[in-house]
């Protein structure tokens, strides 16, 4: 059988057997509404995985569950050797602070703090000295091309500038996985393009795995691979081999 079980080829910079996150049979319900109905998924080390789907399909719920923010009703999430769904909240909270970065549509910067203070915040919260944290923040602002905004507060920034500061803040802890939910959703095309170009470049340099939730195919095209969530499930992978037609007829009888 000339078929593969994956929907996309592995990116060339990845070796085989390089799983970062593995989710098995995830079920999540909000009251009577099932948001995820048995999702099994593997995120490979170093890849940028686009999770797409129509609104209400469950893609954001999937991100929150993979990031350990939401505990599923059933199923497991493994991060390397750890089964994070079996861990307690304080252990998952440490994981989110140290190894995961999270970025939402509206960067959620603290309006009273300057850009460098905002970016330094995750480091300060995990007990780093202020001087060290501010120096790191300056470096990350520079990587996203917004070093000149260091002393500026969010209300004085454009949407695109604020979002680049927010990406810098999500990356300052040098997470192994960055979870981004509609990171350009509030931006126009060119501002969104700038955020994505820098996010992808920096993630590749830092060897950060990215799980990117978006409804927008043009944003998904920045990823290495796409999975589509529909009605809380991922449809079966389609075979990579387009030529084979055998086995199609028996389904029609």
Partner 1 sequence: MSTGHVLLGLLSRGQRHGYELKREHDERFPAARPLAFGQVYTTLERLHRQGLVEPVAVHRVDGPDRTVYEVTDTGRTEIHAWLRNIETPAPHVSNPLSTKVTIALLVGDAAAAADYLRRQRRAHLERMRYYTRVKTDGGSSLHEVLAADYALSHLDADLSWMETASQRVHALEKEIGT
Considering only residues 3 through 42, tell me which ones interact with partner 1, judged by CB under 8 A.
Answer: 7-8
Q: Which residues contact 203 (CB under 8 A, 6 or more apart)?
A: 48, 171, 178, 209, 210
Binding mask 179-218 for partner 1 (x = CB under 8 A): --------------x---x--xx---------------xx
Applying CB under 8 A, among 74, 125, 132, 221 the residue interacting with partner 1 is 221
Applying CB under 8 A, among 89, 238, 250, 253 the residue interacting with partner 1 is 238
Applying CB under 8 A, among 4, 18, 54, 110 the residue interacting with partner 1 is 54
Query: Rounded to the nearest whole angstrom, what is the least distance from the CB of residue 218 to partner 1 in the complex?
Result: 5
Applying CB under 8 A, among 89, 151, 248, 250 the residue interacting with partner 1 is 248
Applying CB under 8 A, among 17, 88, 155, 245 the residue interacting with partner 1 is 245
Alpha carbon distance 250, 247 (integer Å): 6
Q: Which residues contact 177 (CB under 8 A, 6 or more apart)?
A: 20, 21, 43, 67, 79, 99, 100, 101, 208, 209, 210, 211
Alpha carbon distance 140, 147 (integer Å): 8
What are the backbone angles phi and psi of residue 17, rounded to the nearest 5°?
55, 50
Q: Which residues contact 218 (CB under 8 A, 6 or more apart)?
A: 189
Footprint on this chain of partner 1 (rule: CB under 8 A): 7-8, 54, 193, 197, 200-201, 217-218, 220-224, 226, 228, 230-231, 235, 238, 242, 245, 248-249, 251-252
């Amino acid at each position: 059988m000339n078929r593969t079980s994956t929907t996309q080829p592995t990116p060339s910079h990845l070796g085989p057997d390089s799983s970062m996150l593995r989710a098995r049979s995830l079920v999540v319900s909000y009251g009577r509404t099932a948001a995820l109905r048995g999702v099994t998924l593997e995120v490979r080390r170093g890849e940028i995985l686009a999770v797409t789907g129509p609104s209400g399909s469950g893609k954001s719920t999937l991100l929150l569950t993979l990031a350990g923010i939401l505990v599923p009703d059933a199923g497991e999430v493994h991060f390397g050797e750890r089964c994070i769904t079996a861990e307690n909240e304080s252990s998952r909270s440490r994981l989110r602070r140290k190894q995961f970065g999270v970025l939402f549509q509206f960067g959620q910067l603290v309006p009273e703090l300057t850009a460098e203070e905002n970016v330094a915040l995750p480091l300060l919260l995990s007990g780093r000295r202020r001087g060290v944290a501010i120096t790191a923040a300056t470096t990350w602002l520079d990587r996203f091309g917004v070093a000149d905004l260091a002393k500026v507060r969010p209300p004085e920034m454009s949407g695109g500038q604020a979002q680049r500061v927010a990406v810098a803040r999500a990356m300052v802890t040098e997470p192994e996985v960055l979870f981004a939910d509609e990171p350009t959703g509030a931006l126009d095309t060119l501002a969104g393009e700038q955020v994505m170009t820098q996010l992808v470049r920096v993630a590749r340099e830092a060897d950060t795995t990215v799980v990117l939730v978006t409804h927008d195919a043009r944003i998904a095209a920045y990823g290495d691979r796409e999975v589509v969530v529909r009605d809380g499930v991922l449809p079966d992978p389609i075979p990579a081999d387009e030529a084979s037609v055998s086995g199609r007829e028996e389904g029609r009888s």
